[in-house]
Amino acid sequence: MRRKHSWLVLAVYLLFTLAPIYWMLHMSLRSNLAITSTFAWIPESLSLANYATIFTDPAWYGGYVNSIIYVVLNTILSVAVALPAAYAFSRYSFIGDKHLFFWLLTNRMTPPAVFLLPFFQLYTAIGLMDTHLAVALAHMVFNVPLAVWILEGFMSAVPREIDETAYIDGYSFPRFFVRLFLPLIKAGIGVTAFFCFMFSWVELLLARTLTSVDAKPIAATMTRTVSAAGMDWGTLAAAGVLTIVPGALVIYFVRHYIAKGFAMGRV
Amino acid sequence: MSLLSWMAWTPPVAIFFVCIGLLLMAMTVWELRSPTVARKGLLPLVTTRGDRLFIGLLAAAYVNLAWTGLTDLAQWWGAGLSAVALVAIMRYG
Amino acid sequence: MSATKPVNQRAWWFVLPVLVSVAFSALVPLMTIVNYSVQDILGPDQAVFVGMEWYKEILRDPDLHGALYRQLIFTAAVLAIEIPLGITLALAIPERGWRASLTLVLLAMPLLIPWNVVGTIWQIFARGDIGLLGYVLTQLGVDYNYSQHPTDAWVTVLVMDVWHWTPLVALLSYAALRAIPEPFYQAARIDGASRWAVFRYIELPKMRGVLTIALLLRLMDSFMIYTEPFVLTGGGPGTATTFLSQYLTQKAVGQFDLGPAAAFSLVYFLIILLLCFVLYNFMKDPQ
């Protein structure tokens, strides 16, 4: 049931997607002198010097470690609090449920720039500044609503009869939830975790504001490549290439869940 | 910096949030006493009491902003107008 | 939500963790913002109540009107391009096998690049001297320079956003398409339905749930776009790519005008709230 030329559309689009990434990879393998002096379609010589800079300087690789710590922390926390809430939304109606749902969404809509100032002061006041937890908590503002939203869609697709049968069979609620229900929505948890990871990994504004030294994310470290001697293009490009790696791994692991499909019955 | 001083509370804002809180509590009690029936009023969608309260508050905020942005008259008039809008939406929306 | 769900007020306990965690990070800052917006903060413990003054100033600021106008056009352009393009791509992705996996992974890559890196990539990619795009355009005789010409800058930011976010629409649509059971297609084949009819009456309705998510996410996120244009153009040249978040951050961080920045934050929030409310309700009810 598909048109013949759809392959062409896809191929052209993939070319468009990959061209800028190729260019960054290309630059990361060249020296700054070569980058600024001559134009080349493919690197004239391969040099890993820019990568060596990153892997030997603690300020650089420390940034990766920091980013990964708060992103993982955020993903776990977001999914953990969103699971019971999504179950409640998908199974029961209670006073204010729809409004609560929409209120959650409004937090996803608030521009991080709006929260910048109060967050800075809130986390200073409670002594969490420059910790991984601060960034993880801040990112929950936009990740938890999204997690509830996606998980609710997956849970609603599971027939309610399964719950009832389990209770008749003598399952307690926690046992039912962990043993029977969670495996049924494994795909949903995978997809949700993917989105939480993604949005936390790519966010910079809050992550940069809430950290200074100890928890500084890689993306913020990258802003220091502008020095008096001009842009350090090569190192910048190498750091950029390395930021794609964790994401590419994550998408590789969840591709099955996406390929299997989900419909999100209700909004 | 103490735990609350950075929030720079002022009485009007505190009163505003207390009112919103009371309003939500009142709505909950009302809902428990007599559950709402979704209906189609003047607004182009089916609403419950809670929906109308939300739309009303949003409308009230916009009326206030429009008053501030477009006129130089005292804000009280705008606030009064927005209160009328809120009640009207709750009643007829 | 279906009407058959049992009423159970104890469900509130399930929602409590979400409520507490989000309220802590959302309500406290929101209250603070409201407080700031009605005061002139001179220093710690030194503030003067000014009522609606900041709102008055902000709402009449021509810079804000300009930023809002640019923002609306930008968001409209983003939605008009990314949603149809994303659906088209989703229809073109192979249904299964290694080709499908490979396409998904490649397609999703821009989504997983930190936003400032996205800006950096395009900053390099579009430069006339060292960037592929800029170089090729210049060689073709196009007078292209995103740091000098406002139109070039605007179009570059738009193309960057399309590059960055269309995959999200495509992935979600693709997932929805895969969830359509085969019998639907068989029935359509028996009826001799055209490709367009299959799309219009089977695929599109089945995609509505995820399309709502995609549309709302794109609406919200394009409305608060900040990092990518900040890195790429810094809002310039002039104010050509200064969108709302850029304007806000300039006020809050650059000039440290807490009051006006807070007042504007709330106005900003109200605009998005209204847009999303309308769209959410529109997508929820069939027509």
| A83 — pLDDT class (breaks 50, 70, 90) | very high
Each residue of B2-32: pLDDT tens digit? Answer: 556 777 788 888 898 999 999 989 988 888 8
Tell whether the model's pLDDT for residue A82 goes beyond 60. Answer: yes
pLDDT of residue A1: 43
Tell whether the model's pLDDT for residue A266 goes beyond 60. Answer: no
How far is residue C219's CA from residue C276's CA, in Å, rounded to a whole number?
Answer: 8
Continuous segment of H or E residues that includes residue C40: strand C39-43
Quote the tokens at residue C42. 């001179």
Bond preceding residue C237 cis, omega within 30 of 0: yes
Continuous segment of H or E residues that includes residue C42: strand C39-43
How close, in Å, is residue B1 to chain A by CA atoms? 6
Note whether C38 contacts B10, CB cutoff 8 Å: yes
CA angle A158/A159/A161 to nearest 5° reads 135
> Residue C39: beta bridge partners?
C49
Q: Is A245 near chain C, with CB under 8 Å?
A: no
DSSP states of C128-180: TTT-HHHHHHHHTT----TTT-HHHHHHHHHHHHHHHHHHHHHHHHHHHHHTS
Q: Is C56 near chain B, with CB under 8 Å?
A: yes
pLDDT of residue B2: 57
| A148 — pLDDT class (breaks 50, 70, 90) | very high
- pTM here is 0.85
A49 burial level (CB within 10 Å; 0-12, 13-18, 19+): middle
Which residues in chain A (131-150) have CB-CB distances under 8 A to chain C? 137-138, 140-141, 144-146, 148-150
Residue type, C159: V
Strands A226-227 and C39-43: unpaired
How many percent of chain B have pLDDT more than 90?
5
Note whether A95 contacts B6, CB cutoff 8 Å: no
How close, in Å, is residue B74 to chain C by CA atoms? 10
- Nearest CB to B7: which of C32, C267, C281? C32
- Closest of C32, C119, C63 to residue A205, by C-alpha: C119
- Closest of A198, A215, A209 to residue A63, by C-alpha: A215
Note whether B10 contacts C39, CB cutoff 8 Å: yes
Each residue of A38-51: pLDDT tens digit? Answer: 777 777 777 888 88
In the CATH scheme, what is the homologous superfamily, with its name and number, of domain C63-284?
A: MetI-like (1.10.3720.10)
Residues of chain C found within 8 Å of residue B45, distances taken between Cβ atoms: 281, 285
Tell me the domain boundaries of chain C: 11-51, 63-284
A230: left (phi over 0), alpha (psi -120 to 50) or beta: left
Residues of chain A found within 8 Å of residue B3, distances taken between Cβ atoms: 125-126
Q: Is C210 near chain A, with CB under 8 Å?
A: yes
How far is residue C92's CA from residue A5's CA, in Å, rounded to a whole number?
Answer: 9
Q: Determine contact, residues C120/A225, Cβ cutoff 8 Å.
A: no
pLDDT of residue A80: 94
How far is residue C212's CA from residue A106's CA, in Å, rounded to a whole number?
Answer: 15
pLDDT of residue C86: 93
A58-91 helix and A132-156 helix, angle to the nearest 10 degrees: 30
DSSP 3-state of A227 = strand
Each residue of A168-219: pLDDT tens digit? Answer: 888 888 889 888 899 988 888 988 998 899 889 888 888 888 887 788 887 7
- Closest of C281, C285, C255, C264 to residue C54, by C-alpha: C264
Q: Can you tell me the ipTM of this complex? A: 0.85
Q: Determine contact, residues A120/A211, Cβ cutoff 8 Å.
A: no
Continuous segment of H or E residues that includes residue C48: strand C46-49
H runs (alpha helix) in C61-149: 62-92, 98-108, 115-125, 132-139
What single DSSP character describes residue C6?
P
What single DSSP character describes residue C250?
I
Q: Is C89 near chain A, with CB under 8 Å?
A: yes
Tell whether the model's pLDDT for residue B48 goes beyond 50. Answer: yes
Q: What are chain A's domains?
A: 1-47 (no CATH), 57-260 (1.10.3720.10)
Instruction: State the average pLDDT over residues A148-169.
Output: 87
Q: Is B29 near chain A, with CB under 8 Å?
A: no
> Residue C7: beta bridge partners?
A93
Continuous segment of H or E residues that includes residue B62: helix B49-70
How close, in Å, is residue B69 to chain C by CA atoms? 5
